[in-house]
Structure 1
Amino acid sequence: MRPGRGGIPSPPRPAVVDNGAVDDRALVRLSKRMSLALRHQPGKFGLAPDRAGWVTVADLLAALRIDRADLDAVVAGNDKQRFAVERGADGVDRIRASQGHSIPVDLQLEPTAPPERLYHGTGAAALDSIRATGLHRGGRHHVHLSPDVATARRVGARRSGAVVVLTVDASAMARDGHVFYRSANGVWLTDAVPPAYLVA
């Protein structure tokens, strides 16, 4: 966000303009800022998520200096459904990231039996390391796995270079005691994938 007069940050460019059209580039920028605020650095925006990662929609709108139309456009237009909005018993709308947090958060997901196969998209440059040591969560709470090849390929395409889709023998992992969770947007989560479960 560029500083405005007197050092006050200028409001971000609207993702939804007056005629209702959507500015796709502005939408992507806003989605990234929402991810930063809800997944990684809420304190930077003056936000204090609850233990399950929720903040009020009103607080997020004020923190990011956006309007509800922009927020709704990001939530509805994101093909991975990265954000969830719910109205509580108190009538207040709240929002959180569906997964991918680096801050402490309890998404309150129940262990779920996975399908026989799951998939992970990544850059070809990482393949040798993954084959040797498996998939690790890094700074996140879990390894993220996709339910189908097409979704995994889209995820992997966010990285530079050629995309590789790895097949995970999820049913064998579950039989051996590895625990899986399924987030609200259909992403499968587990602590790690040892290399023995990567299908050649």
Structure 2
Amino acid sequence: MKRNLKKYSKFLSYILRHRPDELGLEMSRSGWVSVPALLEGLAERDGSWSREVLEQVVRENDKQRFEFDDTGHLIRARQGHTVDVDLGYDPTEPPELLYHGTVPKFLDAIVAEGLEPKERHHVHLSHDIKTAMQVGNRRGKPVILVIEAREMWDDGHEFFCTPNDVWLVESVPPEYLRVDSSI
């Protein structure tokens, strides 16, 4: 099971963030789907899913991307959706600096245009350089961007912090970011 956790997590992310309809799931406005309906859809597609497997994927996901509600009957992804959701996070004052990991091929466009969420609802930022490096490392040698988050907040930009410590913002205009050349 250990070697398949990544595969299970990726598929669960795909369903809960982008394509709940692929398993015939009804998603609430706040991103929740029924666990029994999810398990039924998963079992029809791949008989290796069970409640125990689902709980292990949620519990052991390295980035804690998923959460059950208090009853355990609903599940959702904490961020990263392309489907229309309102996760209900309250605006939260950010620390002075936040970070974003990317790769060199995107750097010129980001410096010129800023960070945009593309098909997602928000830009994802990290509270530390180590996490931003891990994010950027997924696509090659990382480049770390430093975001002047407190200045953005003071200028009226709203930030949200998810329960798994991912900072969300609608976009980051170029004047609030710089490349960390110390890495």
TM-score by length of 2: 0.91
User: RMSD of the alignment, in Å?
Assistant: 1.1
**Equivalence for 1:10:** none
**Equivalence for 1:191:** 170
Alignment pair present for 1:85 and 2:68: yes
Letter in 1 for 2:173: P
**Equivalence for 1:168:** 147
Equivalent residue runs for 1:36-75 within 5 Å: 36-65=14-43, 66-75=49-58
Equivalent residue runs for 1:107-186 within 5 Å: 107-159=87-139, 161-186=140-165
Helix, strand or coil at the partner of 1:119:
strand
Instruction: String of CA shifts for 1:119-165, please: whole Å, max 9, x gaps.
Output: 00111211111111110010000000001001111111121x21111
Counterpart CA distance in 2 for 1:112 and 1:87 is 23
Extract structure 1 runs of 4+ deviating beyond 2 A: none
Instruction: String of CA shifts for 1:101-120, please: whole Å, max 9, x gaps.
Output: 00000101111100000000
Counterpart CA distance in 2 for 1:53 and 1:175 is 30
Helix, strand or coil at the partner of 1:135:
coil
- Structure number, greater radius of gyration: 1
Counterpart CA distance in 2 for 1:61 and 1:51 is 20
Counterpart CA distance in 1 for 2:152 and 2:92 is 12
Letter in 1 for 2:157: H
Deviation at 1:199, TM superposition (A): 2.9
Counterpart CA distance in 1 for 2:16 and 2:175 is 34
Q: 2:77 aligns with which of 82, 85, 97?
A: 97
Helix, strand or coil at the partner of 1:192:
coil
Counterpart CA distance in 2 for 1:34 and 1:194 is 32
Gaps of 5+ in 1: 1-14, 16-22
TM-score by length of 1: 0.84
- For CA contacts below 8 A with separation 6 or more, give which structure has more relative contact order: 2
What percentage of residue pairs aligned between the two structures are identical?
49
Q: 2:59 aligns with which of 70, 76, 80?
A: 76
Helix, strand or coil at the partner of 1:37:
helix
Gaps of 5+ in 2: 44-48
Counterpart CA distance in 2 for 1:189 and 1:109 is 10
Counterpart CA distance in 2 for 1:52 and 1:179 is 19
